Amino acid sequence: MKQVSHIKHTTHPKSNIPRAKKSASGSGILLANWHLKTVYIGCLWVSVSGLLWFVSHDILQAEPNDFQRWSLILHGAGSFIATMIFGSIAVQHLIMGWKMQRNRISGITLISVFSALILTAFLLYYGSEEMHDYVRWTHIIIGILSFVILPLHIYLGRRSRAKTVSAH
Ligand code: HEM
Ligand code: HEM
């Protein structure tokens, strides 16, 4: 009997189909619009809230106040969202990118950054007192670096697609 596939492959990874025509229900290496927006909003949320807390607490050294409390609460909430985003990327984007041998270096860098942020966040809660300062600064420095690494990854990935398309 003939097998019927229920998966719509609407976007060929090497094609230059405009984003507006992409399936709303799923995508290949390119993310569907809703997915891409979720990645942007979730990553901005966790990064900006973490940065606000850092600026208020460490740079301005303000006395504990409601702004600090709320930025940390929002950061905690954003960190759950960022972790889900990481999982959602792992399902398809990451595997396809790897198999197609595209954008591997910045992709691995991004996975390392996300993993290190999650690990150091875990250690902030459950690590020993002695390691707290190291863990904290590692989290903050990698967090600040992530402001550059995700946009760079997207830029390099899109540039590699443009090259692939023009070569065909
Ligand atoms: C996957 C991404 C991230 C996750 C899962 C994550 C998770 C967490 C968690 C769970 C905490 C502890 C919150 C608390 O004590 O209530 C924390 C603290 C913090 N995070 Fe993040 N974070 C992420 C990204 C970032 C980024 C991008 C920055 C940018 C600077 C950042 C800066 C901070 C700062 C400054 C703290 C407070 C550290 C302290 O003094 O205890 N984080 N993060
Ligand atoms: C935490 C892990 C990762 C995140 C959050 C992430 C996120 C993104 C996002 C948002 C885009 C833009 C997609 C679009 O325009 O629809 C992108 C592009 C891309 N990524 Fe990733 N990525 C990750 C890991 C990886 C890995 C591991 C690889 C490869 C081994 C990879 C390969 C690519 C490629 C090839 C593109 C360009 C797609 C194109 O425009 O043709 N990514 N990534």
Q: For the segment 130-154, what is each residue's pLDDT rounded down to a tens digit? A: 999 999 999 999 999 999 999 999 9
Provide the whole-model pTM: 0.85
pLDDT at 120 over 90: yes
Residue to mutate (ligand 2; options 17, 29, 41, 83; most atoms within 8 A of CB): 29
Tell me the CA–centroid distance for residue 106 and ligand 2, in Å.
9
Handedness of CA 93, 97, 102, 107 (dihedral sign): positive
Residues 101 and 164 in one domain: yes
> In this structure, is residue 15 part of a structural domain?
no
Look at residue 6 and tell me if it is in a domain. Answer: no
Q: How far apart are CA 43 and CA 87, in angstroms?
A: 13
- Residues 6+ positions from 3 with CB-CB distance below 8 Å: none
Q: Nearest ligand, CA of residue 16? A: 2
Separation between Cα atoms, residue 22 and residue 15, nearest integer Å: 11
Domain that holds residue 109: 92-168
- Residue where one domain finishes, among candidates 55, 78, 101: 78
67 and 133 inside one domain = no
d(CA 66, CA 48): 17
The percentage of residues in the chain with a pLDDT greater than 70, rounded to a whole number, is 80
Token pair listed for 89: 């990327």
What pLDDT, on a 0 to 100 scale, did the predictor assign at position 161? Answer: 83
Residue with the larger pLDDT of the pair 15 and 78: 78
Cα angle: 75, vertex 81, 85; to 5 degrees: 135
Q: Number of C-alpha atoms within 13 angstroms, CB side, residue 96?
A: 14
Residue 3: φ, ψ to 5°: -80, 135
Residue 161 lies in a domain: yes
- What's at 29, amino acid-wise? I
Assess whether 124 and 155 both reside in one domain. yes
Separation of 129 CA from ligand 1 center, angstroms? Answer: 17
Contacts of 117 (CB under 8 A, 6+ apart): 82, 139, 142, 143, 146
Residue ending a domain, among 52, 78, 104, is 78
* Ligand 2 close to Cβ of residue 39 (< 6 A): yes
pLDDT of residue 69: 97
Q: Which of 60-69, 114-123, 154-163 has the lowest mean pLDDT?
A: 154-163
* Overall number of domains in the chain: 2
Q: Closest by alpha carbon to 104, among 38, 36, 168, 160?
A: 160
In a domain, 24, yes or no: no
Give the pLDDT band (50/70/90) at residue 163.
confident
| pLDDT value, residue 91 | 84
pLDDT tier, 21 (very low <50, low <70, confident <90, very high otherwise): very low
Same domain membership, residue 127 and residue 56: no
Asked whether residue 125 falls in the same domain as residue 96, the answer is yes
Residues 97 and 61 in one domain: no
Q: How far is the CA of 106 from the centre of ligand 1 (A)?
A: 22
Ligand 1 contacts (CB < 6 A) are 46-47, 50-51, 53-54, 72, 75-76, 79, 82-83, 114, 117-118, 121, 124, 136, 139-140, 143-144, 146
Domain assignment of residue 120, yes or no? yes
AA letter at 162? A
